[in-house]
């Protein structure tokens, strides 16, 4: 079972997000604590807010008094609503929130059942529930709950918890295939940029790009998803993000970036991933050896190369932490330039030009090397409409990972004439 949590400032926003799932028939309220259940059993955000505020002091010393938690059992764990509610209560009790008002929601929107819990971090006396070592404490709780309820262990199923398969254009129903991947991934993983999100999706043969333009004098921006072939090239017709609901549009994604930044910082995720990557880096000398060592520890490496085979971007996908991190976030020693110097010789190798897709981390698979997709040529088979859509795409620059050396033109020194003072 995987637990994720984040702190926020808007109780209304957290409750509204979950209530919206209920209203759409994709969720239900399983249990509450210190929140009064209406006589008709129908909750509404306004009345719930009143109950929460009764336990909130007038003066608080934090800008983020709300905690939003998701608990995600393995898809093979078949649990009743009562069991899910009990797991939620026990988690909150052990996590230090047993005396706080909270609501437990069940979600069924991504092809598997999981629960969300909304609570507040401020006690009635104004003190704040500590978030020190949240990740370690949460990990111990989920481990004990797995044992108690006979759930699949995250340790034993590292990186393969969702059994997601890469999309296959030949199978048809591309919209459904893409939806079945992007919904659980955006729910479960933390990523701070579009480039990191793109790297995660590339493991499942999916590309994503931002589009910008102007229509009738009004500027617009959005996302399109597309299928990728084994070489990272777009195939088929691109799909607007609106086909998958507003939760997978650009506005929502940018909010996820901010939320992920907070989660990664609060939980010390980068530090833990860095330790694992450092150990693998120190014990190997080749790219293939580095990838194998990482995969054995539940981490995938996605490299982006230019036409000459030079690495200009590196992203580490830690399936244990459910986090996607550009190499530069882990330290200069894992930036694209450093990896390029270590793993690339003067002549491009053939094995670096043909990317392999990884389906399930930790399985014996070929190394992943995803070249960043380039805009299609004017002779694309997708037609004029799609060509115009992709003509506005430009690869995203991600921190120091995308910096490539440029030749500086030596300035010619001016010669002075006449008497010099």
Q: What is the pLDDT of residues 147-170, one digit of tens each?
A: 999 998 864 444 444 457 888 888
| Own/partner pairs, 409-417, CB within 8 angstroms, 24+ separation | none
pLDDT of residue 46: 92
Per-residue pLDDT, 152: 86
Kindly list the distances between the CA atom of residue 90 and the CA atoms of 86, 98, 117, 142, 278, in Å, as whole numbers in the listed order: 6, 8, 12, 10, 36
In whole angstroms, what separates CA 197 from the centre of its chain?
6
pLDDT at 350: 39
DSSP H or E run through 30: strand 27-33
What is the predicted pLDDT for the residue at 68?
93
What percent of the chain stands above pLDDT 70?
79
Q: What is the spatial distance between Cα 226 and Cα 205, in angstroms, rounded to a whole number?
A: 9
Tokens 């960043």 map to which residue? 372
Q: Which residue has the higher pLDDT, 362 or 171?
A: 171
Label residue 290 by pLDDT band (50, 70, 90).
very high
User: In 78-173, which residue ranges form alpha helices assigned H by DSSP?
Assistant: 81-94, 134-149
The answer to which of 6-20, 217-231, 362-376 has the lowest mean pLDDT is 362-376
| pLDDT recorded at residue 53 | 93
The residue-averaged pLDDT of 226-248 equals: 88
Token pair belonging to 166: 């890469």
The answer to whether residue 398 scores a pLDDT higher than 80 is no
Given a cut of 70, is residue 404 above it in pLDDT? no
Number of neighbouring beta carbons within 10 Å of residue 270: 18
Q: How many CB atoms lie within 10 A of CB 215?
A: 7
Kindly report the three-state secondary structure assignment for every residue of 257-278. HHHHHHHHHHHCHHHHHHHHHH
- Where do we find the tokens 């009990």? 86
Residue 111's pLDDT is 67
Confidence of residue 178 (pLDDT cuts 50, 70, 90): very high
- CATH fold of the domain at 2-149: BirA Bifunctional Protein; domain 2 (3.30.930)
Kindly report, residue by residue over 294-326, the tens digit of the pLDDT: 999 999 999 999 988 899 999 999 988 889 999
Between CA 28 and CA 81 the distance in angstroms is 10
CB 329 within 8 A of CB 270: yes
The reply to whether the predicted model has a pTM over 0.85 is no
> In the prediction, which pLDDT does 170 show?
82
CA 25 to chain CA centroid, Å, is: 25
Please report which confidence band the pLDDT of residue 411 belongs to, taking 50, 70 and 90 as the band edges: low
Whether the CB-CB separation of 49 and 75 falls below 8 Å is answered with no
Tell me: pLDDT of 94 over 90: yes
How many other CB atoms are found less than 10 A from the CB of residue 56?
Answer: 17
Whether 276 and 316 have beta carbons less than 8 Å apart is answered as: no
Enter the tokens of residue 197: 């999100």
Q: Sign of torsion, CA 30 34 36 42?
A: negative
Taking only the tens place, the pLDDT of each residue in 37-80 is 887 878 999 999 999 999 999 888 888 899 999 999 988 898 99
Distance (Å, rounded) from C-alpha 106 to C-alpha 71? 10
**Strands of the sheet with 218-228, listed across from one edge:** 206-215, 218-228, 234-240
pLDDT tens sequence across 261-286: 888 887 788 999 999 999 999 999 89
Show me where the domains of the chain are located.
2-149, 169-402
Average pLDDT of every residue of the chain: 80
Q: What is the mean pLDDT of residues 6-19?
A: 89
Confidence band for 378, pLDDT divided at 50, 70 and 90: very low
Residue the block writes with tokens 């017709």: 237
In this structure, the number of other CB atoms found within 10 A of the CB of residue 141 comes to 20
Tokens of 188: 């479960």
> Which band of pLDDT confidence, cut at 50, 70 and 90, is reported for residue 30?
very high
């Amino acid at each position: 079972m995987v637990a994720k949590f984040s702190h926020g400032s808007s109780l209304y926003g957290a409750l509204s997000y979950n209530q919206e799932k209920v209203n759409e028939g994709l969720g239900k309220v399983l249990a509450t604590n210190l929140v009064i259940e209406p006589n008709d059993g129908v909750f509404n955000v306004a009345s719930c807010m009143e109950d929460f505020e009764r336990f909130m002091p007038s003066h608080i010393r934090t800008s983020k008094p709300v905690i939003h938690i998701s608990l995600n059992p393995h898809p093979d764990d078949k649990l009743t609503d009562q069991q899910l509610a009990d797991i939620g209560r026990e988690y909150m009790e052990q996590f230090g929130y047993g005396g706080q008002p909270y609501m437990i929601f069940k979600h069924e929107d991504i092809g598997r059942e999981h629960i969300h819990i909304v609570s507040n971090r401020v006690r009635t006396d104004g003190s704040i529930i500590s978030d020190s070592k949240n990740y370690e404490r949460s990990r111990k709780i989920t481990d004990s709950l797995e044992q108690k309820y006979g759930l699949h262990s995250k340790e034993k199923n590292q990186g393969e918890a969702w059994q997601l398969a890469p999309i296959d254009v030949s199978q048809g129903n591309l919209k459904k295939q893409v939806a079945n991947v992007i919904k659980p991934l955006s729910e479960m993983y933390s990523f701070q940029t579009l480039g990191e999100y793109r790297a995660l999706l590339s493991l499942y043969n999916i590309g994503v790009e931002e589009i910008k333009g102007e229509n009738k004098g009004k500027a617009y921006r959005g996302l399109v998803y597309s299928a990728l072939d084994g070489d990272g090239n777009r195939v088929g017709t691109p799909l607007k993000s609106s086909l998958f609901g507003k939760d997978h549009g650009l506005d929502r994604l940018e909010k996820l970036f901010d939320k992920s930044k907070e989660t990664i910082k609060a939980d010390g995720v980068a530090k833990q991933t860095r330790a694992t990557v450092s150990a693998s880096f120190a014990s190997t000398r080749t790219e293939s050896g580095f990838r194998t060592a990482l995969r054995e520890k539940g981490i995938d490496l996605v490299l982006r190369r230019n036409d000459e085979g030079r690495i200009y971007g590196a992203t580490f996908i830690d399936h244990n932490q459910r986090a996607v991190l550009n190499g530069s976030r882990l330290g200069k020693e894992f930036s694209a330039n450093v990896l390029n110097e270590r793993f690339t010789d003067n002549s491009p190798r053939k094995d670096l030009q043909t990317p392999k897709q990884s389906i399930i981390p930790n399985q014996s698979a070929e190394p992943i090397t995803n070249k960043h997709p380039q805009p299609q040529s004017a002779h694309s088979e997708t037609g004029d409409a799609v060509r115009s859509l992709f003509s506005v795409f430009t690869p995203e620059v991600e921190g120091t990972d995308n910096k490539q050396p440029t030749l500086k033109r030596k300035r010619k020194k001016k010669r002075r004439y006449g008497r010099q003072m």
